[in-house]
């Protein structure tokens, strides 16, 4: 059995606490339970994801000629590390973490990493809501 409850900030917090405490009090006395309380953090937003794929990766793809999905795998692996998996006798590297489970703060940190890494290749990626020049910077690696 598993349940998740969100305790929000606001005028109904007292009612939420009463409901949560009543739930805990109603748990079986003949079984052991683990109760975990953690800070709430929103998962990355659709807007953040649209920025990553539609702006950051698109600009890098336009400048380098690489496929957006390949770029995504590359940056995830560079940021979070790589793991190797064996598939039918072949070793494949894949990123240790995916972006879909990141919080909004973690996702922005990933975007900052990507902007910095892209700059190393001479590709400027604007921050969200920052106007961009019409043409991407050409790809040049020293």
29-74, pLDDT tens digit by residue? 999 998 888 877 788 999 999 999 999 999 999 999 999 999 999 9
Q: How confident is the model at residue 132 (pLDDT cuts 50, 70, 90)?
A: low
Weakest-pLDDT range from 7-11, 25-29, 72-76, 138-142: 138-142
Q: How far apart are CA 130 and CA 55, in angstroms?
A: 11
User: Please, which residues bridge with residue 95 across strands?
Assistant: 82
Domain boundaries, the chain: 46-120
Prediction pTM value: 0.68
Q: How far apart are CA 59 and CA 53, in angstroms?
A: 9
Average pLDDT, the chain: 88
């Amino acid at each position: 059995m598993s349940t998740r409850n969100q305790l929000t900030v606001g005028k109904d917090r007292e009612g939420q606490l009463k409901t949560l405490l009543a739930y805990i009090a109603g748990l079986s006395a003949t079984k052991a339970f683990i109760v975990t309380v953690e800070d709430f953090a929103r998962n990355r937003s659709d807007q953040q994801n649209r920025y990553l794929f539609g702006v950051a990766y698109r600009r890098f793809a336009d400048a380098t000629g690489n496929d957006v999905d390949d770029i995504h795998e590359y940056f995830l692996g560079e940021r979070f590390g790589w793991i190797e998996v064996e598939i039918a006798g072949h070793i494949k590297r894949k990123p240790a973490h995916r972006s879909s489970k990141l919080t909004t703060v973690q996702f922005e940190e990933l975007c900052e990493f990507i902007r910095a890494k892209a700059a190393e290749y001479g590709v400027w990626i604007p921050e969200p809501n920052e106007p961009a020049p019409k043409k991407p910077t050409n790809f040049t690696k020293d």
